[in-house]
Amino acid sequence: MTFARAFPLSLLGGVTLAFLWLVTPFSGAILWAVIAAVLFDPLNARLVRAMPGRRNVAILVTLLAIIALFVVPAMLLGGALVAEAKGLYARVQGGDIDVVRLVADLQRHLPAWARHWLADIGLGDINGVRATLSRGLADGFQAVAARIVRIGQGTLGFFLQLGVMLYLTFFLLRDGRAIAARIERALPVERTQRVILVARFVTVIRATIKGSLIVAALQGITGGLIFWALGIPGALLWGVAMGFFSLFPAIGTGLIWVPMTLYLLATGAVWQATLLFACGFIIISSVDNVVRPILVGHDAQMPDYIVLIATLGGFELMGFNGFVVGPIIAALFLAAWEAFSLPAAGGEPATG
């Protein structure tokens, strides 16, 4: 490769990497701006058609819808979670919830092998359990208090990220299709392959949001209401936990309601355990099986084991944003292999 050809390519790669490094602090805001623009583009298009000549007004209405549907509920939920956690801790500290007595009741109902196992790990003595729980609660409260302080200190940063996200969403809604067309033309692949990659990217983002976030919200709300109806303390916390774990296929909400069912059964609350198991198996779990196919369809379906590994890997590497980035990367990986299995001139996919 000659210098005249290598230098422009090196310069292009260098400035691209420098720009990516520059915007790294706002990577989360950029990610969610792209997701919001892709998800709400159909709504924005309908508003633009309904408001001819008032495109910017239509986009502002779309932004207000995004704020009303996602931003405000997220803030309210966060505040409610903090209040619920503080109230639950106060009840434990005040003796309204006697955790030691609950553990003692559970131990009495456990089979002999389970009691021996607890004794082997140092939890057979009720005084030892009380000391362990006291240390755990103290450490947990300190951790929660420190997290609340960090959240308070990071309020300005949060609103800065939110402002950047909404600002970018406005311009992506306005110019996103033109930007997507330019990116598509710039891809150094055949036209058929470009169309497949871009279409797959848009489909996967919409499917991930609709099929994951909405199902998570429904399962969390359903599970929280069931826990509240059964009188289980911390129903909001349990509901949020079920919504979170529903993002992981095959594992799902069962990580919450199955152990709680076993606990209720072991402590003698047979009818509550039976009702919780029935609701968890029939209602909570069926939300995913019924609602997800309606929202997602079959265009963006991936094997559950790929979704699970990609989601876990995304969380491990990128935290909260990873539950979106992981499945998107996995789907684009499959889409790239699908696109490049086509012959160079387009046509039917290659065999084999």
- Per the model's pLDDT, the better-predicted residue between 79 and 276 turns out to be 276
* 255 within a domain of the structure (yes/no): yes
| The pLDDT of residue 265 is above 90 | no
Rg (CA), the chain: 25
Task: Show which of 178, 203, 224 is a domain's final residue.
Answer: 178
Buried-state track 78-100, b at ≥16 Cβ within 10 A, e below 16: eeeeeebbeebbeebeeeeeeee
CA distance 229 to 235: 9
Question: Which residues 6+ apart lie within 8 Å of 80 measured at CB?
Answer: 236
> Looking at the structure, do residues 334 and 291 belong to the same domain, yes or no?
yes
H/E element, 336: helix 322-340
Which tokens in the block code for residue 188? 């150094």
* 19 within a domain of the structure (yes/no): no
* 116 within a domain of the structure (yes/no): yes
| The pLDDT of residue 214 is above 70 | yes
* 315 within a domain of the structure (yes/no): yes
* 77 within a domain of the structure (yes/no): yes
> Looking at the structure, do residues 173 and 190 belong to the same domain, yes or no?
no
> Looking at the structure, do residues 190 and 295 belong to the same domain, yes or no?
yes
Sign of the CA dihedral running 40, 45, 48, 49? negative
Best CA proximity match to 210, nearest among 303, 79, 340, 301: 301
> Looking at the structure, do residues 169 and 202 belong to the same domain, yes or no?
no
Share of the chain above pLDDT 90, in %: 7
CA distance 273 to 265: 5
* 288 within a domain of the structure (yes/no): yes
Counted residue by residue, the chain has a size of 352
Q: What is the pTM of this model?
A: 0.67
Separation of CA 121 from chain center: 35
Going by the DSSP 8-state scheme, the letter that residue 318 receives in this structure is H
Task: Show which of 178, 208, 228 is a domain's final residue.
Answer: 178
| The pLDDT of residue 61 is above 90 | yes
> Looking at the structure, do residues 97 and 63 belong to the same domain, yes or no?
yes
Question: Which residues 6+ apart lie within 8 Å of 124 measured at CB?
Answer: 107, 115, 116, 118
Separation of CA 182 from chain center: 30
* 164 within a domain of the structure (yes/no): yes
Q: Contact 346/191 with Cβ under 8 angstroms? A: yes
Task: Show which of 127, 154, 178 is a domain's final residue.
Answer: 178
* Mean pLDDT of the 123-130 span: 56
Residue 59 sits in which domain range?
25-178
Residue found under tokens 């490094």: 21
* Mean pLDDT of the 311-321 span: 81
> Looking at the structure, do residues 145 and 213 belong to the same domain, yes or no?
no
Greatest mean pLDDT among 125-129, 198-202, 314-318 lies in 314-318
* 46 within a domain of the structure (yes/no): yes
- Per the model's pLDDT, the better-predicted residue between 339 and 43 turns out to be 43
> Looking at the structure, do residues 209 and 312 belong to the same domain, yes or no?
yes
> Looking at the structure, do residues 138 and 279 belong to the same domain, yes or no?
no
> Looking at the structure, do residues 158 and 223 belong to the same domain, yes or no?
no
> Domain count of the chain?
2
CA distance 153 to 146: 10
> Looking at the structure, do residues 163 and 250 belong to the same domain, yes or no?
no
How big is the CA angle at 259 (ends 255 and 260), to the nearest 5 degrees?
110
> Looking at the structure, do residues 214 and 69 belong to the same domain, yes or no?
no
Q: How confident is the model at residue 343 (pLDDT cuts 50, 70, 90)?
A: low
CA distance 139 to 218: 32
- Per the model's pLDDT, the better-predicted residue between 200 and 222 turns out to be 222
Query: What pLDDT is attached to residue 350?
Result: 41
Share of the chain above pLDDT 70, in %: 71
> Looking at the structure, do residues 74 and 157 belong to the same domain, yes or no?
yes
